[in-house]
Chain A
Amino acid sequence: EVQLVESGGGLVQPGESLRLSCEASGFSFRNYWMSWVRQAPGKGLEWVANIKEDGSERNSVDSVKGRFTISRDNAKNSLYLQMNSLRAEDTAVYYCARGYPWAYWGQGTLVTVSS
């Protein structure tokens, strides 16, 4: 059974950093692109970033460029999102999702940026 479990969310102040993790199981992680998608409270979905199977290609939405870094460790079946210089508008539930199309999603982890 495919499982994606996010962790690392929490409450941080503006300007601080946070690292999200997504642990994958039930499939060959190294064979799939992986993405992060977020959803602000009461708002719509927003694609954040993705990374190629071997980590050689990464893409991200303009609003997080230079602040967020997506990475992966295929030996640990894990996906990461390093979030620096956090802003109030980054407050959201962050989901990891497998490949494209995104047939498998995690349950999400809530990041709250507030002073």
Chain B
Amino acid sequence: QSALTQPASVSGSPGQSITISCTGTSSDVGTYNYVSWYQQHPGKAPKLMIYDVSNRPSGVSNRFSGSKSANTASLTISGLQAEDEADYYCTSYTSSSTYVFGTGTKVTVL
């Protein structure tokens, strides 16, 4: 049950697009479409941004999108805004009937 691998940090200028990767194995990301993404601002509870690889909950900006290829899932933020600066975590269901989070990515808006 090793954590999924995410880049420690990603940065971009306002208006740009950035992509955060989330690499797992055939026992989690590669097999299941139960991949979700969470945004967390300091001192706050996580917020669901994407679920089931590419679905966006109501109320979440359409600037956020998700995808998956083989063992790697990705979160893309387009039209980067200052409010997007936060930590982002992916998570996946696993073959052990558990869930595993990614290592987390700090997004900085330059």
Q: Which residues of A contact B (CB under 8 A)?
A: 35, 37, 44-47, 50, 59-62, 95, 100-103, 105-108
Task: Check B45–A44 contact: CB distance below 8 A.
Answer: no
Nearest 5 pairs of A and B residues by beta carbon: A101-B51, A105-B45, A44-B104, A47-B99, A45-B101
Q: Which chain A residues border B40 with CB–CB below 8 Å?
A: 45
Q: Which chain B residues border A102 with CB–CB below 8 Å?
A: 36, 38, 46, 48
Task: Check B48–A107 contact: CB distance below 8 A.
Answer: no
With contact pairs A44-B104, A61-B1 given, residues A103 and B57 touching in the complex (Cβ less than 8 Å): yes
Task: Check B97–A59 contact: CB distance below 8 A.
Answer: yes
Number of CB contacts from chain A to chain B under 8 A: 54
Q: Which residues of B contact A (CB under 8 A)?
A: 1, 3, 34, 36, 38, 40, 45-46, 48, 51-52, 57, 87, 89, 91, 93, 96-104
- 16 example contacts (A-B, Cβ-Cβ < 8 A) are as follows A35-B99, A37-B101, A44-B89, A44-B101, A44-B102, A45-B46, A45-B89, A47-B99, A47-B101, A59-B97, A60-B98, A101-B51, A101-B57, A102-B48, A105-B46, A106-B45
Q: Which chain A residues border B100 with CB–CB below 8 Å?
A: 47
Task: Check B101–A61 contact: CB distance below 8 A.
Answer: no
Residue from B93, B101, B102 with most neighbouring chain A CB atoms (10 Å): B101
